[in-house]
Amino acid sequence: MAAKIPVVYLVSDSVGETGEFVVRAAASQFDGGSIDLRRVSHVHETSIIEETLRSAEEEQAIVAFTLVLPHLRDFMLQRTGEIGVKAVDIMGPMVEAFEQVVGAPPHRKAGLVHQLDDDYFRRVEAIEFAVKYDDGRDPRGLERADVVLVGVSRTSKTPLSMYLAHRRLRVANVPLVPEVAAPDELFQITDRHKIIGLTIRADKLNLIRQERLKSLGLQSDASYASFERILQELEYAESIIRRLRCPMIDVSDKAVEETAAVILEYVNQRRNP
């Protein structure tokens, strides 16, 4: 005789993925692990619970639930007790245990774990974006960026891009070099306010570039670090920034975190005028 396949109604005031994982893990402990799982998600009214329980009663089904909103959980516990439906409160006991240990009440807000997941995935997406569109590698990404950084070499464009990516901003950066024309896509950006120009004092850039050359085992008097070359690059970069009519930040005496704070302020002003 074939084993009966249990019917399980999974009721949640959020998506219900947490409950489904637990239900399927439990079912896997039995031969075959087959279940007829019926997810009832985003429940915000007791009438939906009542309707689900009527169906569960008729089918002699199990009701598993992850309800963090107190009035829904209380209603579920009361009604399943009254009609004799087998019910399993998946989250309640664990939340109560945390409450006792933490000594503070829970938020009682549905979907918090998915908000955390969304935050994580947005950050990962932003980091991947920053890597893909670093150093002007693919100007096609400029329009999709939240922030576009432009400036000469060694103005902290890449570190800033990664720092801002951890704040969930998609950042692209474009180096400005006199011998290489700035990409057309830079001037075609619809929202020019998201472009940020970075500049630096010539003496500061000279020191930074000399140190960079030393770290690479090269002579510190190479043209890359010469004052003449630096002044030429800065003049060219500032001419491009003027054409773009975008804000310009002097990073000479700023740490990456300080410059990022200024950029974040620009972003917030743009989003909340």
Residue 2 lies in a domain: no
Instruction: Mark whether 135 and 260 lie in a shared domain.
Output: yes
Closest CA to 37 of 64, 15, 67, 75: 64
Q: Which residue has the higher pLDDT, 104 or 67?
A: 67
Residue type, 239: S
| pLDDT tens digits, 154-167 | 999 999 999 999 99
| pLDDT tens digits, 200-244 | 999 999 999 988 888 888 877 678 889 999 999 999 999 999 999
Q: Is the pLDDT of residue 35 over 70?
A: yes
Which of 110, 130, 154 is a domain's end point? 110
Instruction: Mark whether 127 and 213 lie in a shared domain.
Output: yes
Percent helix, strand, coil in the chain, to 5, is 55, 15, 35
Distance CA 117, CA 121 (A): 6
Distance CA 240, CA 218 (A): 30
Tell me 183's DSSP state.
Answer: P
Distance CA 14, CA 147 (A): 33
- Residue 105, domain extent: 7-110
pTM greater than 0.75: no
pLDDT score for 232: 96
Distance CA 208, CA 201 (A): 11
Distance CA 111, CA 9 (A): 19
The enclosing domain of 172 has a CATH number of 3.40.50
Hey, which bits of 152-237 come out as E strands? 171-175, 195-199
Token readout for 35 is 């279940």
